[in-house]
Structure 1
């Protein structure tokens, strides 16, 4: 049986030992030609024609697959020359694949010495199993096995390399300058050693195993590379935070600061990636870069939120400070235009604060919807401040009513203390003082920030000042309850959330108020009565005139 497809011709060498002293080159040319062409070439061609061949190779010639060479040695009688020729022939055998060797520099099919033992074993195994030998397939098999052994050896050397282990340990603690160059050198060293040791094996098998070695080595070092990229990303992010804080501390604009610091950090990351890249791989760092961009955006967003929150808090504080005192004073005054004044104050302070706030947030480059939400928040906050103050003051309404009553009752329009002489109309003063307290109660009964009209003051005056507060009999209570506008928990035209003091609470407060202020009225009346009695010890005016004209003694005689 025969195998075909061998990559180069097989040489047949015929060595003629010339025993005579006539060298072969001195033979007659015709005789030399006859020996070479007839005895060898034709004989070999006839043998080839008689060998069974596949149908595709029926017309092939012996010279298509084989070449022949005749070597004539000198006579042994010339020992020195003979030994020299033998040495030269041995060299041709030893260096058959070198230029001048039998293969003429053709290295195809060469089996290096390191693979000869395995090659010989496999040759014999194939011969025994198949009774044939395909040298090309055998060469590929030997190259595959041997190149894989070399690749495994180089990979094992790589994972135990001292330089690699030191580099790997250093990366665990932080970024390493020149990481890419160092790792490229380590990996390149073992790939080069593989190339040197596998150079004589089949090119296809050699390249295939080299690719596998390179892929395996790159997969092995890739986790360390990703760790390095993680350090580069972390450092770029931390530097972004530091730069942004420094820029904001210099009172630079927020948006421009974020943009400048982002560009610097992304450039720093790109340079770090370039330093970490290795020659043997074209690893994509875009995923880590995108993560860095997301981290930067998230941090910038958090800083923006914190800055806006702080800014918003500052303006809330300003609003609270500008509203609290004036609103409290207006509510304590309890005048006719109290809520109109509060609305005017609220609108002025809110718009003034919003104007300054809008200018402050202009550099944040916010969308219109976000800005509108922030401004509406300030409007809601200012309204809530007023409502909160009103609710707090409503809980102290009894104190305010009594203070108002005693102010009006005990002091005249010039803020001078009253003297309860007989000419002072205590009843009228009491009515005025109670009326002032009633107006204050009406003002504090509800929140009026929406300019909606109501009849609270009218109802209170008509019911508590002009009407009867309590009803005695049960039947009268039923009639009174149905007719009493204060027998309710809500005011007409006033929502529940805007109600501070319900009608029934107003009624209860008024009863308590009258009880607590009644003593002052009674005391004033008592003082006035005492003043009148003290004035009764004096004689009448006509008697005083008599005493002036006639003297006291004459006046006493007249009385007798």
Structure 2
């Protein structure tokens, strides 16, 4: 069965996020199982620049492409998402509605900026798709786009080291080196002109972005050459998150299991026109996901076959190697949590782990309580056996002291054995100890009356 790219509209042209589609994408593609071994690639650029075509050729996706015979009109509305086919690590491809569209007109600036912020907040690599002949033009479509991109990154207030991959379309006879030099100058100039918060004044572009530039021949007039160049570019996305890869400099990668919730919260914040505080967002996502993971782990514990067998066994008898068995069950539970939560923020992860351990110990406690009943029964039986022997050879003189030493011995024996089967300081045997002492005192009182 061929691999499915699972493309869908993530955000409508009206700015409505498709939560069900996003969750279904994460589930059906197994994205949530990827840990941090995945990359998000978004493409931005002016309308009718061949963005969807480029993504489809790079990643074997099926984004809708413009039909040139129908005229140069808006094809992609809103933001679309798909899985790249045949590339490792897992790549989430995001197709962003083209900027500078006739259909949106002057009112489209808001959505363009919102899209730019979203793409930069969620993506490791942002492809800036632009016409080669626009380089050097003061009012070309790429300048407003670049300005929006840089302003968006500053709004994030974080050095994520996003990779900006500039793809120059329809390369002319101008040598690539000349194009690269000219575009690099434009990029630095736009960055310098952007108003920056005091904390980032004087901060070089390279602290925020890793900039890569490449050029492609015309898809319409040099299709064979175009395919060759795109195939070479596609190879660069393999192992893209490894050192030296396209996204090898990315920082603080977020676990894939929180991707859907994170994307939803980022877009909600953008739509509400609030400052997008990514560190705070990460704490929120980590809290949400670690809580989910803890609940799922606890649910698995409740139906774990090894645990159910031990619980049943200990109801009937004193289970051999009880401490080793129940400790192994607890460690397995915490290990499952650790494996799934490992990439989330450490402080959040650790706090939730402590809560999970407390709740797991509560689930396991009834087995410990059953063991205490067996130990109490053994201690009482031990006392009664010793007591019978003492009664047979008892005399009034010294009987009380002799019995008291037996009581102490039985109580000490129970206390030691109850500690030996416990795996937590919070497991309390005091109630069982009090019951045992009460039973021993009752037995002792009856024996004493026989002697007296």
Query: What is the alpha-carbon distance in structure 2 between the residues aligned to residue 257 and residue 181 of structure 1?
Result: 35
1:263 aligns with 2:412: no
- Between Structure 1 and Structure 2, the one with more helix by share is 1
Deviation of the 1:128 alpha carbon? 0.8
Give the alignment of 1:164-179 within 5 angstroms.
Answer: 164-179=307-322
Determine which of 85, 90, 114 is the counterpart of 2:232.
85
Give the alignment of 1:398-547 within 5 angstroms.
Answer: none
**Corresponding residue number in structure 2 for 1:14:** 166
Counterpart contact for 1:92–1:101, Cα < 8 Å? yes
> Aligned pair in 2 of structure 1 residues 9, 196: CA closer, same or farther (>3 Å)?
same
Aligned Cα root-mean-square deviation (Å):
4.0
Deviation of the 1:72 alpha carbon? 6.5
SS at match of 2:238: helix
SS at match of 1:14: strand
**Corresponding residue number in structure 2 for 1:136:** 279
**Corresponding residue number in structure 2 for 1:109:** 253
Deviations 1:8-27 (A, max 9, x none): 32232234679699997xx6
Q: What TM-score results when the alignment is normalised by the length of structure 1?
A: 0.44
Determine which of 337, 351, 362 is the counterpart of 1:194.
337
User: Higher relative contact order by CA 8 Å / sep ≥ 6: 1 or 2?
Assistant: 2
Larger Rg: 1
Deviation of the 1:99 alpha carbon? 3.7
Counterpart contact for 2:269–2:275, Cα < 8 Å? yes
Q: Provide structure 2 residue ranges, at least 5 long, that are not aligned to the other structure.
A: 1-151
> Aligned pair in 2 of structure 1 residues 70, 115: CA closer, same or farther (>3 Å)?
same
Query: What is the alpha-carbon distance in structure 1 between the residues aligned to residue 306 and residue 189 of structure 2?
Result: 65
Query: What is the alpha-carbon distance in structure 2 between the residues aligned to residue 149 and residue 50 of structure 1?
Result: 44
SS at match of 1:12: strand
Deviations 1:318-361 (A, max 9, x none): xxxxxxxxxxxxxxxxxxxxxxxxxxxxxxxxxxxxxxxxxxxx
Query: What is the alpha-carbon distance in structure 2 between the residues aligned to residue 284 and residue 142 of structure 1?
Result: 33
Deviations 1:344-391 (A, max 9, x none): xxxxxxxxxxxxxxxxxxxxxxxxxxxxxxxxxxxxxxxxxxxxxxxx
Query: What is the alpha-carbon distance in structure 1 between the residues aligned to residue 251 and residue 333 of structure 2?
Result: 24
Determine which of 188, 191, 206 is the counterpart of 1:63.
206
Counterpart contact for 2:365–2:427, Cα < 8 Å? no
Q: Provide structure 1 residue ranges, at least 5 long, that are not aligned to the other structure.
A: 312-560
Deviation of the 1:108 alpha carbon? 1.6
**Corresponding residue number in structure 2 for 1:231:** 374
**Corresponding residue number in structure 1 for 2:298:** 155
1:215 aligns with 2:362: no
Aligned pairs, number: 293
Counterpart contact for 1:108–1:202, Cα < 8 Å? no
Deviation of the 1:83 alpha carbon? 5.8
Counterpart contact for 2:163–2:212, Cα < 8 Å? yes
Query: What is the alpha-carbon distance in structure 2 between the residues aligned to residue 220 and residue 7 of structure 1?
Result: 44
